[in-house]
Amino acid sequence: MKIVGIIIVVAALLSGVSAHYRFTSLIVNGQTTGAYQYVRQNTNYNSPVTDITSTDARCNVGGGTGGNTSTATVAAGSSLGFQMDQAVFHLGPVDIYVRQAPSTAASWDGSGASWFKVYELGATYSPFTFTSLGKSQFSFNIPSGIPSGEYLVRVEQIALHVPNAPQFYISCAQINLTGGGSASPAKVSIPGAVSATDPGLTVNIYYPVPTNYTVPGPAVFTG
Ligand SMILES: *[C@@H]1O[C@H](CO)[C@@H](O)[C@H](O)[C@H]1NC(C)=O
Ligand SMILES: *[C@@H]1O[C@H](CO)[C@@H](O)[C@H](O)[C@H]1NC(C)=O
Ligand SMILES: *[C@@H]1O[C@H](CO)[C@@H](O)[C@H](O)[C@H]1NC(C)=O
Ligand SMILES: [Cu+2]
């Protein structure tokens, strides 16, 4: 009995390290592309980023450049999304930020105050839960009015199951946006957009059960 129990605990710990859910593929107009074809591959087994002030909070550990990642051509206003290798199993929100690259998406590390949020998925109440739980696909429309050019598209799931120790599961995709406009949404830096003391990160989701929840960071730009 004891040995079986230990094996189960060890297996659980190992799977916690090696089998975290990942955002592996970009979905372009409903078509799921290859795993890591347009999504930068991380090098940390997607063991979560826990320091929100770290540059790893941009595109995850190992995601600082995209030299071996392709860049997908996407028309402004079209449907984009991320496909995961398995469904989200930790409670918390999902959000997506984009940022136009100074030159190519593949060569850019994500620095500078030029990110804006294009999607977020928060909580429902009574019963309190996060809508991302159990989902393995997240889709949105890339705004039609933003300028043409190469962009990073950063998806993040913020796991809040350990109170006061939020975990960030992140991937960045590379796109070449065509047919855009001249809209200029307000921009933020990553790290910097969200403070470690944001109530959306420090909240205890178990007690008292939240009756309101705001996804951290700026408002979603839809223009
Ligand atoms: C990209 O590079 C990483 C790190 O060297 C490597 O692990 C990965 O297999 C590469 N991905 C592709 C699609 O070649
Ligand atoms: C991005 O799209 C523009 C407009 O179609 C094109 O001129 C450019 O070559 C594309 N860049 C890449 C890297 O695909
Ligand atoms: C809920 O709303 C209260 C009052 O505005 C605020 O102080 C608190 O931080 C919010 N909680 C969350 C988790 O956003
Ligand atoms: Cu975990």
Domain boundaries in the chain? 2-202
71 lines ligand 2 (CB under 6 A): yes
Distance CA 62, CA 70 (A): 16
Asked if 138 and 95 touch (Cβ cutoff 8 Å), the reply is no
Residues 139-161 as b/e (b if ≥16 CB within 10 A, e otherwise) read ebebbbebeebbbbbbbbbbbbe
Cβ within 8 Å of residue 108, ≥6 positions away? 65, 66, 101, 102, 150, 152
Q: What is the pLDDT of residue 18?
A: 53
Pocket test of ligand 2: the residue of 38, 152, 176 to mutate, having most ligand atoms within 8 Å of its CB, is 176
User: pLDDT at position 82, please?
Assistant: 98
Nearest C-alpha neighbor of 153 from the set 192, 107, 85, 100: 100
Chosen CATH of 2-202 out of 3.40.50.2300, 1.10.540.10, 1.10.150.130, 2.70.50.70: 2.70.50.70
Residues contacting ligand 3 via CB (< 6 Å): 199-200, 203, 210, 212-214
Token output for 84: 């995961």
Cβ neighbours of residue 136 under 8 Å, at least 6 residues apart? 21, 83, 84, 85, 86, 87, 88
Which of 207, 212, 214 for mutating ligand 3's site (highest number of atoms within 8 Å of CB)?
212
One-letter amino acid at 122 equals: G
Q: For the whole prediction, is pTM greater than 0.85?
A: yes
Q: What is the mean pLDDT of each run of 10 residues along the chain (223 residues)?
A: 44 53 97 98 93 96 94 98 98 98 95 95 97 98 97 98 96 98 96 96 96 97 88
For ligand 1, the distance from its centroid to the CA atom of residue 145, given in whole angstroms, is 33
Minimum-distance ligand 3 atom for the alpha carbon of 203: 13
Mutate to test the pocket of ligand 1, among 40, 41, 69 (most ligand atoms within 8 A of CB): 41
Residue 69: CB within 6 Å of ligand 2?
no
Gap between the Cα atoms of 96 and 220, Å rounded: 9
On the question of a cis peptide bond just before residue 127, with omega within 30 degrees of 0, the verdict is yes
What is the 90 CA–ligand 4 centroid distance (Å)?
7
Predicted pLDDT of residue 45: 87
Nearest CA to ligand 2 atom 9: 176
* CB 78 near ligand 2, within 6 Å: no
Ligand nearest the Cα of residue 216 is 3
Cα–Cα distance measured from residue 118 to residue 141, given in angstroms and rounded to the nearest whole number: 8
User: From ligand 2's centre to the CA of 148, what distance in Å?
Assistant: 9
CA distance 211 to 9: 34
